[in-house]
Amino acid sequence: MAQNKANTADQSKLMEKIVSLAKRRGFIFQSSEIYGGLNGCWDYGPLGVEMLNNVKQQWWRSMTFRENVEGLDASILMHPRVWEASGHVENFTDPMVDCKQCKARYRLDVLFEETSLKKKKEILRELFPGEYDGQVKDEKVVESFEKYVSQDSNIPRIVPMLACPNCGNKGTFTDARKFNLMFKTFVGPVEDSSNVVYLRPETAQGIFVNFLNVQSASRQKIPFGIAQIGKAFRNEINTKNFLFRTREFEQMEMQFFVKPGTDVQHFDYWRSERMQWFVDLGMRKERLQWHQHPKDKLAHYAKDAYDIEYEFPFGWGEIEGVHNRTNFDLSRHEEFSGKTMKYFDEETKEKYTPFVIETSAGASRSFMAFLVDSYREEEAPTAEGGMEVRTVLKLHPSLAPTKIAVFPLVNRDGMPEIARSIEADLRRNFRVFYDDSGAVGRRYRRQDEVGTPYCITVDSETLQNKTVTVRDRDSMQQERIAINRLKEYFALKLL
RNA sequence: GCGGGAGUAACUCAGUUGGUAGAGUCACAGCCUUCCAAGCUGUUGGUCGCGGGUUCGAGUCCCGUCUCCCGCUCCA
């Protein structure tokens, strides 16, 4: 226990160090910082936006550089009926109560679930004197109870009759409060209920409603997928853990439309594809795991659901969900819009509503996982022969915000001029950083801290034979490369 | 939402019984430097999270509030 506590404190320190580095070097700033910040909102600084763009670009390539996946960018505001069809208007509302005695908080539906059969019967008898006397079948009790609590207007009556499962006190609950996790706003200048719109809580619906548009425009046949990257918004009760739970975040989603009956096979395929993506971009395998949602806790739309979890300093957290959404969404949109969402298979002459395999990654969460995973403090030798701590982001080169740094070893003998010309030349293809201040060792360390994979140094030998040193971030080894071969060298390493 | 901790320069922190804010790092300018961060000189930079109160006087005491971290709760 003591060890656990110390460990938690260390992990918390680690997270603080990463947050501090992220701010100091321009990855992440708190939103509206000069006004005291806005809870759960963060800004990406110069290096942060480069890295985030790299994450998104890698995802986009891995998805749309395929014959059977098309891209899409749907608008954030959508017709309000979309969210009725998707179930978000209804299901995003979780009434909750707090126990005034012991401060425990419950979701009302969970509280009802935990109420014993005997207690339910008692409550029904009290509510409807005479109707439930004597022998009553268990199923009928459960059914009547559920029917009663499904009416919102009955809630204020029933809550005071329940006892707190934690402290056992009765009548200590606050009134039920509803939390709708969708941000609501208004179209046009008049704020009334007839022109309510929502900020999308997920990007997926933009894909579903465009399913047939994309299919016919791109002449795709099932199975095929639609990929989209975009912002989504949830009015979370609590924000937490840096970028992990925020009210505004970015999703990278791909919905893959398949023939019913083939969904399990595609589900397995995409699960392995998505896990491999994180591994291929350098994330440590031992920090990744699958979490399968228990069947009885599945969301209203899902048949099967797995999350890819990353082990953050604060514990395991979901960075991507791979879900079998069945034909729920398309069917619902067909029902609510009155437009067909069915696909006609020319080969088999069948007409059906496709099943959907969803891969839904958090761009912001993935960003944070890559950042955390790459952060290392290593022992490194100093010029004096001692050892000291070297802070380095071991980012995969394709994710690193800066690819190459260029230094003149000293600021004379024409070295700066040569270094500048190398910089200008490489800048056409790569994000390059030029630095001539302080000792060269210090410049290397500055680049280590932001994950720059390669540093070029112009030295006195350059003046003799037109070669420079290229220093590798991870091994700190150098090799001599001819200036006129640099482009080719980095094309091989970085493209 | 509850409980605990915290908020002082860009970063890490000090600041005595209440007396008008300081260090190191960073940054910038110059000097010096021939390969793995902290050599020299100078300079910039602070509404002490914000608001109110007590006081002759508040970074310091009191109240409120915001934000961050930890735990609980929550996470269709």
Provide the pLDDT for residue A163. Answer: 72
**How many whole angstroms separate alpha carbon A287 and alpha carbon A276?**
13
Burial class (CB in 10 A: 0-12, 13-18, 19+), A63: buried
Q: Give CA angle at A306 (A305, A311), nearest 5°.
A: 150
Q: Tokens for A164? A: 């707190």
Measured CA to C1', what is the nucleotide nearest A390? B37
Rounded-to-10 torsion of CA A399, A239, A298, A79: -90
Give per-residue pLDDT as tens, A331-376. Answer: 999 999 999 999 998 888 899 999 999 999 999 999 999 999 999 8
Provide the pLDDT for residue A465. Answer: 92
Provide the pLDDT for residue A170. Answer: 67
Provide the pLDDT for residue A121. Answer: 78
Note whether A319 and A365 are within 8 A (CB). yes
Average pLDDT in the A287-305 region?
83
**How many whole angstroms separate alpha carbon A453 and alpha carbon A400?**
7
Provide the pLDDT for residue A374. Answer: 92
Give per-residue pLDDT as tens, A116-146. Answer: 777 777 777 877 877 777 777 777 777 777 7
Provide the pLDDT for residue A167. Answer: 62
The answer, yes or no, to whether the previous bond of A223 is cis (omega within 30 of 0) is yes
Q: What is the DSSP letter of A430?
A: S
Q: Which residues of A17-30 are buried (b: 16+ CB within 10 A; e: fewer)?
A: ebbebbbebbbbeb
Interatomic CA–C1' length for residue A417 and nucleotide B16, angstroms: 55
The more confident residue out of A345 and A107 is: A345
Provide the pLDDT for residue A263. Answer: 93
Interatomic CA–C1' length for residue A326 and nucleotide B5, angstroms: 46
- pLDDT above 90 (res A174): no
The number of C-alpha atoms within 13 Å of A485 and in the hemisphere containing its C-beta is 12
Provide the pLDDT for residue A165. Answer: 67
**How many whole angstroms separate alpha carbon A118 and alpha carbon A193?**
42
Q: Is the pTM of this model over 0.90?
A: no
**How many whole angstroms separate alpha carbon A437 and alpha carbon A407?**
9
**How many whole angstroms separate alpha carbon A397 and alpha carbon A282?**
9
Q: Which of A98-102, A209-213, A486-490 has the lowest mean pLDDT?
A: A98-102
Average pLDDT in the A64-73 region?
95
Interatomic CA–C1' length for residue A23 and nucleotide B48, angstroms: 21
Provide the pLDDT for residue A7. Answer: 61
Measured CA to C1', what is the nucleotide nearest A476? B36
Contact positions of strand B to protein Cβ (< 7 A): 1-3, 7, 10-12, 26-29, 32-39, 47, 49-50, 66-76
Mean pLDDT for chain A? 86
Interatomic CA–C1' length for residue A107 and nucleotide B74, angstroms: 8
**Banded model confidence at residue A147, pLDDT cuts 50, 70, 90:** confident
**How many whole angstroms separate alpha carbon A345 and alpha carbon A349?**
5
- Closest among A20, A484, A58 to A229, alpha carbons compared: A58
Provide the pLDDT for residue A190. Answer: 76
Provide the pLDDT for residue A172. Answer: 66
Interatomic CA–C1' length for residue A24 and nucleotide B14, angstroms: 21
Provide the pLDDT for residue A4. Answer: 45
Average pLDDT in the A151-180 region?
69
Interatomic CA–C1' length for residue A158 and nucleotide B61, angstroms: 48
Which element (helix H / strand E) includes A312?
strand A304-312
Measured CA to C1', what is the nucleotide nearest A87? B76
Average pLDDT in the A379-406 region?
85
- pLDDT above 70 (res A154): yes
Provide the pLDDT for residue A177. Answer: 65
Average pLDDT in the A287-293 region?
91
